[in-house]
Chains A and B, each alone.
Chain A
């Protein structure tokens, strides 16, 4: 699944993360009539004109390309909500705001394919870019506090793309720290109470939804 150029710490390519993100449900407004679709991942439909329906993102994009629907942007993607999120991100030093796990990928897909369905698209786009920047800097600053005792890292409410970017770096850094820590004599084994300590893999692993 991962690119083979990095045999030690496999990196999901950005396209793979995008592929995974396309499973998220999104609302569309079809403009034609269609029978229910019985797919492996679930049943969708029947589609009636002007009646909103929830479909996976890949299906929504496919229908949109054929001109059969318009996509309704998800509710977190409004200018007011994003502005509020941006303010909150800038205010808090360590905490991340709760955004959908795949917000980067969803927003990019919608910008590419559903440009006319999103009101104030330029504003939304620039807000999302700013949010992404601020969060990334926060990620970096929270990664600075490593130690030899750190065995795992947890950062709450991080999104899939951000996790993917730092994954190889953090994995190698943790390994190096472990290696160097084994040199130190065991003085006092008080484990360092990192403010965010848990399994980072649980944030990066895609949750398999029950179908």
Chain B
């Protein structure tokens, strides 16, 4: 679990998750529209994932499958994974799914994620290495953060190789030398 300081991890855990409370909660202002400050047992609230995770481990809530993994998404992924706009569901689709899988009672989530990633990976492979800059924004808007990382890694290495291939100056002046030094008093 070396990802405590990982920014992506932190943001991924901010995703809202709807939970059903198993115990009544007093004194918390979760639902701003309620008159009283306590929430009854069995009611549905939206909590960020990190909170839901902790409460679930204490058996205080039970977690429902979030909206980004619902039926509509599943059908779209089965139809054509490469074209599904996963970013609009959640930019941290895979990470979020990985975290959700142990606590939510849905066995098929893992399969869904895996098959989606595998099919999209094929597309990503070819596009990342060969696409020009024109096509980039269209594809990038559909990818999750994780896939964008992959994509950019490939792009940068291909670009570096092309730049090297062209040739040019083997030696470049150090950036420190470029600036004019002000004479000291």
Contact = CB atoms under 8 A, between A and B. Distances in A.
Interface string B139-175: 0000000100110011011101101110100100000
B117 interface: yes
B161 A161 contact: yes
A72 to B, nearest CB: 22
A169 B150 contact: yes
Interface string B27-49: 00000000000000000000000
B161 A169 contact: no
A171 to B, nearest CB: 8
B153 A169 contact: yes
A92 interface: no
Interface stretch (A5-13, A35-43, A46-54, A80-88): A5-13
A183 B118 contact: no
Using C-beta atoms within 8 Å of the partner chain, give the interface range for chain A: 20 to 34
Nearest to A13: B160
**Most central of A15, A161, A167, A176 by chain B CB within 10 Å:** A176
Contacts of A184: 110-111, 114
B103 interface: no
A183 B164 contact: no
A150 to B, nearest CB: 11
A183 B110 contact: yes
Contact of B153 (A9, A15, A177): A9
A148 B114 contact: yes
B150 A173 contact: yes
A168 to B, nearest CB: 4
Interface in B86-117: 94, 97-98, 101, 107, 109-111, 113-114, 117
B164 A14 contact: yes
Given A112-B167, A168-B153, A181 B125 contact: no
B122 interface: yes
Interface of A: 6, 9, 11, 13-15, 18, 108, 112, 136, 140, 143-144, 146-148, 161, 164-169, 172-173, 176-177, 179-185
20 contacts: A11-B156, A14-B163, A112-B167, A140-B129, A147-B118, A161-B161, A164-B157, A165-B158, A166-B129, A168-B154, A168-B156, A169-B125, A169-B129, A176-B150, A180-B113, A180-B114, A183-B97, A183-B109, A184-B114, A185-B107
For the complex of A and B, 7 pairs with smallest distance between CB atoms? A14-B164, A183-B110, A168-B153, A169-B154, A180-B114, A184-B110, A183-B101
